[in-house]
Amino acid sequence: MMEDRKVISIAVVSVIALITIIIVARVSLKLSRAFFLILGADVAVIVAVFSCVLIRHRYKTRRMLMESRLRSEGRELRIEYSFLRKVAGVPTKFRYKELEEATDGFQALVGKGSSASVFKGILNDGTAVAVKRIDGEERGEREFRSEVAAIAGVQHVNLVRLFGYCNAPTAPRYLVYEYIPNGSLDCWIFPSNETQRRVGGCLPWHLRYRVAIDVAKGLSYLQHDCRSRILHLDVKPENILLDEDYRARVSDFGLSKLVCKDVSRVMTNIRGTRGYLAPEWLLEMGVSEKTDIYSYGMVLLEIIGGRRNVSRVEDPNDKSKKKWMFFPKIVNEKVREGKFLEIVDPRLIERGGVDESEVKKLVYVALWCIQERPRLRPSMAQVVDMLEGRVRLDLPPDTRMILVDLLSADEDPVADHNNLARLLTSMSSHEDNISTYSMGTTILSGR
* 234 belongs to the catalytic site: yes
Kind of pairing between the strands at 229-231 and 257-259: antiparallel
Residue 273 zone, left/alpha/beta (φ > 0; ψ -120 to 50; rest): beta
Query: 315 forms bridges with which residues in the sheet?
Result: 318
Looking at residue 410, its amino acid is D
User: How far apart are alpha carbons 12 and 10 in whole angstroms?
Assistant: 6
| Candidate list 42, 234, 252, 292, residue with the active-site label | 234
Query: 165 forms bridges with which residues in the sheet?
Result: 93, 175
Please state at what angle helix 327-337 crosses helix 356-369, rounded to 10 degrees.
Answer: 130
Kindly report the three-state secondary structure assignment for every residue of 5-64: HHHHHHHHHHHHHHHHHHHHHHHHHCCCHHHHHHHHHHHHHHHHHHHHHHHHHHHHHHHH
User: How far apart are alpha carbons 417 and 73 in whole angstroms?
Assistant: 64
User: How far is Cα of residue 160 from the mean position of the Cα atoms in its chain?
Assistant: 7
**Nearest alpha-carbon partner for 218 in 235, 238, 206:** 235
Residue 132 assigned ligand-binding role: yes
41: how many CB neighbours lie within 10 A of its CB? 13
Burial 183-196 (b: 16+ CB within 10 A, else e): bbbbbbbbeeeebe
**Nearest alpha-carbon partner for 397 in 429, 373, 381, 361:** 373
Looking at residue 311, its amino acid is S
- Binding-site positions: 132
Catalytic residues: 234
- Binding-site positions for ATP: 132
